[in-house]
Amino acid sequence: MTTLPERFAADPRAAAGLPDAALIAQESRLVGELMTELGRVIVGQQAMLERLLIGLLADGHVLLEGVPGLAKTLAIRTLAGTIAAAFHRIQFTPDLLPADLIGTMIYNQRSGDFTVQKGPIFTNLLLADEINRAPAKVQSALLEAMQEKQVTIGGQTYPLPELFLVLATQNPIEHEGTYPLPEAQVDRFMFKLVVTYPDRREEREVLDRMTAVDEPVSTAVMDPARVLAARRVVQQVYADERIKEYVLDLVGATRRPADAGLAELAPMVEFGASPRAAIFLLRAAKGHAFIRGRAYVTPDDIKAVALDVLRHRVILTYRADAEGMGPDQVLRRLLEAVPVP
């Protein structure tokens, strides 16, 4: 089978779709510097840091799930510092109101009219800490911002910054006082990352760093304008027609497992991934290729990000739960079954 690079060499029209290789190399080096700065503070967790960078470069919100103490909040705060971005952290609680997030109208006694008091959502990186602790009316206040990058206050629409990302955390082991995120909101996150414990060597390094006289700090290596420029380069990363068909095959298999030769999984899946999943999967794969200095997407890029893009979009039946089968197990079987171009 002809590989993608060979096809580029054989087909000038395909090669014409590639961005400048030197530009890709230059921009990806900057991302390498960003990763190095993050590593000054965060020990290990390479997959989490890489997905955060892909979300930043591919313009996708990120949901991080893990038990407390795994540096989820620290990683997001450090990322904001390394790109010199405006950063706000909101601790989501059951008594939080939509106005606490997006802002409200304030009456000015001196002028006799109402003025807009913008909320903390008007920033570059918004950390929604323990997002599942706020009720549905607060969750719904995020929907417009996450999709349209705008909010409505007092009947008037206000645009958010061009560089705007919601980076949310949630604790999977506590259910008291929590509100499951509605499917419409979960679908707006490009990634759902499952953050796990570090190994013993990494945990020892965490212990050494965080108990030293001076805690590690990172420095800014980029600014928001530079990030937006890198995003435009990521959008130029070439995706072959067969890669796009592969993405559609994977997303289609989550809805109709029998089409991939896995009829036994059909009773396990209630709802498959949405069309937004295909968009995010290709955009994330472009970001994955970019940070590795490549100007084209390969099937390995798709496979690398597929679990994180799809796991929160596949809704399983009670039968799957009864048999102890989770979304990751279903998706791994689909990835093995769907033919690779």
Rounded CA separation 187/277 (Å): 8
The C-alpha R_g of the chain, in whole angstroms, comes to 21
| pLDDT tens for the chain, residues 1 to 341 | 444 455 444 444 344 455 666 777 777 777 888 888 888 888 877 888 889 999 999 999 999 988 877 778 888 888 888 888 888 999 888 888 888 888 887 877 777 777 788 889 999 999 988 888 888 888 888 888 888 888 888 778 889 999 999 999 888 776 665 777 777 778 889 999 988 888 888 888 888 887 877 777 778 888 889 889 888 989 889 899 999 999 999 999 999 988 888 888 888 888 888 889 999 999 999 999 999 888 889 999 999 999 999 999 988 888 888 888 888 898 999 999 898 88
What pTM value is reported for the model? 0.86
Tens digits of residue pLDDT in 217-234: 778 888 889 889 888 989
* Domain segments of the chain as ranges: 1-19+238-341, 41-235
- Which CATH number is associated with domain 41-235? 3.40.50.300
Q: Which residues are registered as beta bridge partners of 117?
A: 104
Rounded CA-CA distance 151/265 in Å is 41
Backbone angles phi, psi at 134, to 5 degrees: -100, 145
Token code pair at residue 11: 């087909």
* Mean pLDDT over each residue of the chain, to the nearest integer: 84
The CATH number of 1-19+238-341, from 3.40.50.300, 1.10.150.130, 1.10.8.80, 3.40.50.1100, is: 1.10.8.80
pLDDT tens-place string over residues 245-255: 999 999 999 99
Cβ pair 99, 134 in contact under 8 A: no
Residues 258 and 225: their CA atoms lie apart, in Å, by 46
Question: What's the CA gap between 189 and 276, in Å, rounded?
Answer: 10
Distance (Å, rounded) from C-alpha 58 to C-alpha 53? 8
